[in-house]
Amino acid sequence: MRILIAEDNTLLREGLSLLLTSAGHEVCAAVEDGDALLPALLEHRPDAAVLDVRLPPGFQDEGLRAALAARERIPGLPVLVLSQYVEQVYAARLLAHSAQGVGYLLKDRVGRVEEFLSALDRVTAGGTAMDPEVISQLMVRGTRDDPLAALSPREREVLALMAEGHGNSAIGQRLFIAETSVNKHIGNIFTKLGLPATDGGHRRVRAVLTWLRAETHP
């Protein structure tokens, strides 16, 4: 798999390159600022991009803006965004443009190699990968105008694990419940959030998008 990296911290950039190369991937380019990111994405057209939200010269949202612009020019480009802190608005902006092939992880997750590589694989396959800490903070809120208010505590747990990208079997193992129970909970989640069966597999991501959009557009 050909991967492009955008990270201004030299140590982390080189570490990511080594990690990905050791896992059998090809790092087709590695850039260190926002100005170089979009041209590099359009030139190399990688299988996936791993990038920091905040890049020089402004250290604001240069990485995210370049990723969104690239996805408009290269529909479906898988993007795994790394951030130092949980920034809800950035997570929502990333997911709001498309429900496929996106991920948002905290940088310390890179140190957990298997989790990081698994998240990258899910994103590249067209799925989603949200950091557990991101999901945890997104779900800590009042119930006023909360589209998730109708969900039971167990359904919220299932939804959080869905947002991280886990399949039904893995969710059952983590919650120590049967997979049939997981299927039932997910069905209830879809029904309560008004997600029609015609939406197919994307309902898993759209269940999270429902909340994210309500968070940023109350």
Both tokens of 153, joined, read: 């505590």
Q: Where residue 218 falls among pLDDT bands split at 50, 70, 90?
A: very low
* pLDDT digit string, tens, across residues 72-101: 888 889 999 998 877 766 766 776 666 578
* pLDDT digit string, tens, across residues 1-21: 999 999 999 999 999 999 999
Q: Does residue 142 carry a pLDDT above 80?
A: no
Both tokens of 87, joined, read: 């920034």
Give the whole-angstrom CA distance, residue 118 versus residue 189. 25
Q: What is the pLDDT, as a whole number, of residue 212? A: 58
* pLDDT digit string, tens, across residues 109-119: 888 899 899 99
- With 0.75 as the threshold, say if the pTM is over it: no
Q: Does residue 201 carry a pLDDT above 60?
A: no
Q: Are 207 and 148 in contact (CB under 8 A)?
A: no
Q: Does residue 216 carry a pLDDT above 70?
A: no
Which domains does the chain carry?
2-130 (3.40.50.2300), 141-216 (1.10.10.10)
